[in-house]
Amino acid sequence: MAALAADLAAGRRSALQLADDALARAERAAALNSFIRIDADGARSAARAVDAQRAAGAALPALAGIPFAHKDIFCTRGVATTCGSRMLRDFVPPYDAQVVERLASAGAVSLGKTNMDEFAMGSSNENSAYGAVANPWDTARVPGGSSGGSAAAVAAGIVPFATGTDTGGSIRQPAAFCGITGLKPTYGRVSRYGMIAYASSLDCAGVLARSAADCAIVFDAIAGFDPRDATSVARPAEATAALLEQPLAGLRIGIAREYFGSGVQAGVGERVHAALRELERLGAVLVDVSLPNAHHAIAAYYVIAPAEASSNLARYDGVRYGHRTAHARSLDELYSLSRAEGFGAEVQRRILVGTYALSAGYYDAYYLRAQKVRRLIANDFAAAFAGVDLIAGPTAPTTAFRLGEKAGDALAMYAADVNTVAVNLAGLPAISLPAGLAGGLPAGLQLIAPAFAEARLLNAAHRLQLATDWHLQEPAA
Amino acid sequence: MNAQVQPAASAWQAVIGLEIHAQLSTASKLFSGASTAYGAEPNTQTSLVDCAMPGTLPVPNREAVRKAIQFGLAIDAAIAPQSVFARKNYFYPDLPKGYQISQYELPVVGAGRLRVRVDDGRVIEVEIQRAHLEEDAGKSVHDAFHAETGIDLNRAGTPLLEIVSAPVLHSAAEAVAYMRTVHTLVRWLGICDGNMQEGSFRCDCNVSVRRGSDAPLGTRTEIKNVNSFRFVEKAIEYEIERQIRALENGESIVQETRLYDPARHQTRPMRSKESADDYRYFPDPDLPPLVIAAADVARERDALPELPQARRERYVAVLGLPDADADQLCADRATADYFEAVLAALPGQAKLCANWVLGEVAANLNEAGIEIAAAPVSAAALAELLARLRDGSISGKIAKDVFAAMWAGEGGADAIIEARGLRQISDSGALAAAIAAVLAEHPAQVADYRGGNEKLLQFFVGQTMKRTRGQANPQQLNELLRQKLAAP
């Protein structure tokens, strides 16, 4: 991205050329199905505007003229926003999400909206109403989810970065499966305003890019307090991009033994250990840490997230916007048929699970207990961070699995989130980095930091990427 | 076993609790910036948040929180340093999010109490369990489109304070007296306009009956959304009777929600709670706990006005006003403040001031159908008039005429008195001359009077008043007349 920015600044290429090139690449890679909607006209007109500003001599931000894509969960004024659902197939938001506003005002040029699991519920992108997405490394495999379209588009080189959201790993796991870098910021760092809700207490906007340095530039552009989001944190954001180069000498990295359990593929474990050795060589000190409640994370997550989703998705009732059944004979049928027709199977499953978990008589046993587990998990991290600066482990226990491999088995699919969900439950920032290939497929290293320590996270990731070339590996065209 | 005598019907005790919904008079909604003004065209006062657009988020209105704090302080309740907004989940077309944001386990205002004067003169202390913030729903419009229901979201998101009394009221009269006291209080505090026709102040009544005050509570019914004092009284009376009748007939009471039908003065079942929704309350993850600093509470406490109860008691104990006057003056803050402004200019004349505020002023307001704030005669202007009455410049009767002229916009008291030449004749010489003339004109009546028909005194008073165009000082006139008539 730095090279593109330099080309733009020097006038060697225009934003319009970059946009056209990206559009052409998207067309060539259409088989990946990484986009739900490409807005070529919008992209070109945004690019022309940046070129005009530059021609007028304006000092422009680093992202001005850089093409990118938005996950189709961010509301874009005048551009259909489906959230991967049939329910919102024709939904055109009348407003822009905060993240969309921020990147637009930074001059970044959006190509369109990327594919995703419906309402961000999924770990394979197979739950999209607009078709599955193929992994550019092996088109028979999934790109991960739910930000699968964003990950595939970046890995295939269509755009240098894309926005994503991460509720239980939805940025990091696809980043790992697609061999790119994905940053999930601290909960509250980036406004959720205009980001269609899945599980409000866990949802987090972030970025997928080719490098930690690129993630830092985008993060700096989108982070910050937003009065329109009551969970947004009023805390001055440090410019992480300026802190990337600090040496790692003395950085204490905790190795969470619970993240290297029997479910971790041997090849993935090897790659992660190799990355950790490299960090050690760069001056980091590796320390064993324990997160004793880690194995409860999946269970707690799959109560809390569906519970919140069951309520968040109640607004899709066929009354004001979104899909409305043509067959209702009563108000109850308007609701039940609109929702049965508009929502896919996984979304319906989670609404049912969540409704059950919140029901009278079950609330204490499920929702309340899950919240207690959530606190224990957060306490585990707090205790571990008393002795270390970062915690490391594999992002996902495996490399990308085959399309359809887990489609019929919800529990096996949920298990793919084993190393990522705890981070959301604790609201912490984390990053997934390429750690080289295992069996020809990318493996991901996850680094986790204490709340608001994105700069430390990006610094460590960047130093590792300066010393290695894993993040430069690309799938065969 | 002892043969038990069935208690008479009078042994039934009604147990009533009210849930009052007071719409907080904020400029914008509880969680969005849209206006709360009443009566706008449908769906013109709805923000993206109010129509539950995907991706929108609620942001609490601090002004509504302040008003809730003020209410809490006024009922001597603890203000929760941390309270929690919760979602109440149910599907209804005028509920755009599919849930209502309310407070459930941790309300902003904890338990408090309110002293209530019942019509029969008793004073009861009513325990208020809690008061919490919640948003109102929109409205379903059934008559705008043929065979279809319209939805108006102007009201959606309007801030409400739900004030929940303990089940400690035992008659319709107590319930209404309590409701009136709350109504006075919220208007006094300026946190609710109290407009019941527009739905700004309405209540749900929970009613049960039991045999005597020691018996366990009976099954209750809830009468929803009653929006006038009279309807509350009628609805509760009807419901108590209905329940007693049913129980005495050996039937049982079904726990259910009922609606009051004002045309028939009856309640009828709306839906049975047994089949009611499970609202699946849980803390709203979009809203962090509502944190209220002790300093904020202290600031509101310092700014709290003298409350109606305290002021009423002061009027009786310090100003010596009768209970009835104090009650009426303290029925709303504007009236009480008006009274105090008049009194400030006439120290020590509380009863005189009260008589005028509750008499001429109230009557004219009533006739004109306006609030005291809009009265054409200000407190200062009334004080000027009453000062002339006090110093004997005019009589009480003339004062009423002057007041009417002031009300009609003819100017201040002094100007009207001067312009119309209404100053009272207290000069005994002038008065004696007028009396002499009257007596000379009516020799027969004078003789009659002196012959023992003392009732004729009023005749001479009337004649002399007529001659002085009402300006004679009545007391002085009486005295002088008696003198002149006594001494031939």
Cα–Cα distance, B455 to B176 (Å, whole number): 50
pTM for the model: 0.90
Does A336 lie at the interface with B, CB-CB under 8 angstroms? no
Q: How far is B97 from chain A (nearest CA, A)?
A: 4
Contact A231 B89 (CB under 8 A): no
Q: For residues A264 and A297, is the Cβ–Cβ distance under 8 A? A: no
Q: What is the CA radius of gyration of chain B?
A: 30
Note the pLDDT of residue A166. Answer: 98
Count of domains forming chain A:
1
**Pairing state of beta strands B201-211 and B221-226?**
antiparallel
Whether residue B26 is found in the same domain as residue B43: yes
> B144 CA to chain A: closest CA distance, Å?
17
Q: CB within 8 A of B82, min separation 6: which ones?
A: B106, B289, B290, B291, B292
CB contact under 8 A, B60 and A94: no
Contact at CB, B99 and A314, closer than 8 angstroms: yes
How many residues make up chain A in this entry?
Answer: 477
Same domain as B414, residue B311: yes
- For residue A50, the surrounding DSSP H or E stretch is helix A40-55
What is the model's pLDDT at position A273? Answer: 97
A263 within some domain: no
Q: Cβ neighbours of residue B460 under 8 Å, at least 6 residues apart?
A: B435, B438, B439, B442, B445, B449, B481, B485
Residue B376 at interface with chain A, using a CB cutoff of 8 Å:
no
Q: For residue B274, what pLDDT is reported?
A: 46
Nearest to B57 among A193, A315, A331 (CB): A193
Task: Please count the other Cβ atoms lying within 10 Å of the Cβ belonging to residue A255.
Answer: 18
Q: Which of B403, B420, B437 is the last residue of a domain?
A: B420
Q: Which residues of A touch B89 (CB under 8 A)?
A: 310-311, 314, 358
For residues B224 and B345, membership in a common domain is answered with no
Yes or no, beta carbons of B55 and A194 under 8 Å apart: yes
Burial A41-63 (b: 16+ CB within 10 A, else e): ebbbebbebbbebbeeeeebbbb
Q: In which element (H, E) is residue A306 found?
A: helix A297-312
* A400, A143 contact by CB (below 8 A): yes
Which pair of structure tokens corresponds to residue A143? 């790109």
Q: Do B48 and A95 touch (CB under 8 A)?
A: yes
DSSP A367: I
Q: What is the pLDDT of residue A241?
A: 84
pLDDT at B424: 72
Interface check for B112 against chain A (CB to CB < 8 A): the answer is no
Residue B286 has its nearest CB partner, among A94, A194, A231, at: A231
- What's chain B's length in residues? 488
Cis ω for the linkage preceding A146 (within 30 of 0): yes
Q: Do A308 and B59 touch (CB under 8 A)?
A: no
- State how many domains chain B has: 3
Which residue's entry shows tokens 């001056």? A283
| H helices present in B262-378, as ranges | 294-303, 308-317, 323-329, 333-345, 350-356, 362-368
Catalytic residue among A170, A191, A310, A432: A170
Hey, which residues 354-393 in chain A have their CB within 8 Å of chain B? 355, 358-360, 363, 367
Note the pLDDT tens digit of each residue in A372-429: 999 999 999 999 999 999 999 999 999 999 999 998 888 888 888 889 999 999 999 9
Query: Using the 8-state DSSP alphabet, how is residue B338 labeled?
Result: H
What is the extent of the structural domain holding A439? 2-254+389-472
> Does residue A93 fall inside a structural domain?
yes
Within-domain flag for B248: yes
Asked if residue B4 is part of any domain, the answer here is no
Check whether residue B311 and residue B405 sit in a common domain.
yes
Flag whether A366 is in a domain: no
Residue B301 lies in a domain: no
Low-confidence ranges of chain A (pLDDT < 70): 237, 477
d(CA B339, CA B249): 54
Using CB atoms, pick whichever of A231, A358, A367 lies closest to residue B288.
A231
Domain boundary among B420, B442, B460: B420
Q: Per the structure block, which two tokens stand in for A300?
A: 């707690």
Q: At what angle do helices B308-317 and B172-189 cross, to 10 degrees?
A: 100
In sequence order, the 6+-apart residues with CB closer than 8 A to the CB of A336 are none
Query: Residue B3 falls within a domain, yes or no?
Result: no
Nearest to A344 by CA among A139, A73, A113, A83: A83
Residue finishing a domain among B393, B420, B447: B420
Task: Identify whether A52 is part of a domain.
Answer: yes
Helices (H) and strands (E) in chain A, counts: 15, 11
Which of B53, B97, B148, B277 has the most A C-beta neighbours within 10 Å, making it the best mutation to test the interface with A? B53
CA gap B350, B347 in Å, rounded: 7
**Residue of B248, B225, B214 lying closest to B160 (CA atoms):** B225
Q: Which of A198, A192, A110 is nearest to A153 (CA)?
A: A110
Interface test with B, best of A90, A96, A98, A358 (most B CBs within 10 A): A358
- CATH code (residue A113): 3.90.1300.10
* Residue A446 forms part of a structural domain: yes
Cβ of A94 within 8 Å of Cβ of B53? The answer is yes
Determine the 3-state secondary structure of B203 from DSSP: strand
**B124: CB partners within 8 A, 6+ apart:** B115, B116, B118, B168, B174, B177, B178
Give backbone dihedrals phi and psi of A44, rounded to 5 degrees, phi first. -65, -40
A67-71 and B139-145 strand pairing? unpaired
Active site residue A310: no
Least Cα separation, residue A96 to chain B (angstroms): 10
The pLDDT value given to residue B4: 45
- Residue in chain A closest to B153 (alpha carbons) equals A320
- Could you tell me the mean pLDDT of each successive run of 10 residues in chain B, 488 residues long? 48 96 97 90 92 97 97 98 97 95 97 94 96 95 84 95 98 97 96 94 96 92 93 96 95 92 89 66 97 97 95 96 95 94 95 96 95 94 94 87 94 89 74 86 89 88 85 82 80
* A406 catalytic per annotation: no
Q: How many other CB atoms are there within 10 angstroms of residue B185's CB atom?
A: 23
B168 and B245 share a domain?
yes
Q: Are residues B110 and B220 in the same domain?
A: yes
Q: Following CA atoms B85, B87, B88, B92 in sequence, which dihedral angle do they give, to the nearest 10 degrees? A: 130
Nearest Cα to Cα of residue A70 among A225, A210, A207, A228: A207
Continuous segment of H or E residues that includes residue A36: strand A35-38
- Whether B145 and B288 map to the same domain: the answer is yes
A71 labelled catalytic: yes
Paired with B128 in beta bridges are B112, B165
> What's the rounded Cα separation, in Å, for the pair B103 and B130?
10
Give the number of A-B residue pairs with CB atoms closer than 8 Å: 98
Under 8 Å between Cβ of A352 and A263: no
Q: In angstroms, what CA-CA distances link A446 with A257, B144, B194?
A: 13, 58, 58
CB contact A340 to B (< 8 Å): no
Q: Which range of residues forms the domain containing residue B385?
A: 306-420
State how far residue A89 is from chain B, nearest Cα, in angstroms. 13
- Tokens read off for B243: 């329940």
Q: Under an 8 A CB cutoff, do A231 and B287 touch?
A: yes
Structure letter (DSSP) for residue B126: E
Residue of B nearest to A88 (CA): B54
- Selected for mutation to probe chain A from B102, B286, B287, B290 (highest A CB count within 10 Å) is B286
Record: contact A75-B58, CB cut-off 8 A? no
Contact A187/B at CB under 8 A: no
Residue given tokens 């970059």 in the structure block: A18
In terms of domains, do B258 and B322 share one?
no
Q: Is residue A71 within a helix (H) or strand (E), and if so which, with residue range?
A: strand A67-71
